[in-house]
Amino acid sequence: MDAGDRMNMKAPWPARPAQIRSLNGGMGGMQKDGIESRLGILRKIYLSFSILGFSGIIYLLLGLSRKYGLNALPKLSLFLIWNLIIYSGLKRKKVWVNPLIKFYAVMTVLTLVVARNNHYQNTGSLTGNWLINFSMALFCFYQLYFFSRKDVEQYMHDKGVTLY
């Protein structure tokens, strides 16, 4: 086959659905490398949430917050504990972290839907609050989608052990 014959061949794209399925590793499943990379990104996100919660606790204990005071300490402590538990479960690829993340995501979305933030008076803080709530809701919905996939559940079941 010379260069002229190769030029007359049809390009394989646009790909047919069967070709796309075969490129994705079967019936549209995610490869193990893709699952591991996404779990790595989620681990980094939960670690940053933990650092944020820890710095918020330090900020409150030092008395630097005039608005919240020590009233926000239980909420921040719970936020820190949840994120550290999820981070350690993701790091060790434990089976129990999958339902825990789904529960945490659903509870976060319900909190965002039910919570009313009427105490914001100016539009700048209202827009910022809406953006934070919207991005957090998108993150939670992504987690619900990602951890509900059969290939991810199977990967977590194969790699993890039920016991801590």
In tens, the pLDDT along 121-157 reads 555 566 667 788 889 999 999 999 999 999 888 888 7
48, part of any domain: yes
**Structure confidence at residue 123 (pLDDT):** 52
**Host H or E run for residue 84:** helix 73-92
17, part of any domain: no
Q: Is the pLDDT of residue 8 over 80?
A: no
65, part of any domain: yes
Structural domain total, the chain: 1
92, part of any domain: yes
**Structure confidence at residue 25 (pLDDT):** 46
Average pLDDT of 15-20?
Answer: 46
> For residues 60-85, b (16+ Cβ closer than 10 Å) or e, as one string?
beeeeeeeeeeebeeebeebbebbbb
Q: Counting Cβ atoms within 10 Å, is residue 23 exposed (0-12), middle (13-18) or buried (19+)?
A: exposed
131, part of any domain: yes
Phi, psi of 63, rounded to the nearest 5 degrees = 80, 25
Which residue range is the domain that position 72 belongs to?
A: 33-159
Contacts of 84 (CB under 8 A, 6+ apart): 50
18, part of any domain: no
Apex 34 CA angle, 36 and 43, nearest 5: 35
**Structure confidence at residue 100 (pLDDT):** 93
28, part of any domain: no
Q: Which of 24, 7, 3, 6 has the alpha carbon at shortest distance from 15?
A: 24
| Full-model pTM | 0.69
8, part of any domain: no
Contacts of 150 (CB under 8 A, 6+ apart): 29
Q: Could you give the CA distance from residue 139 to residue 135 in angstroms, rounded to a whole number?
A: 6
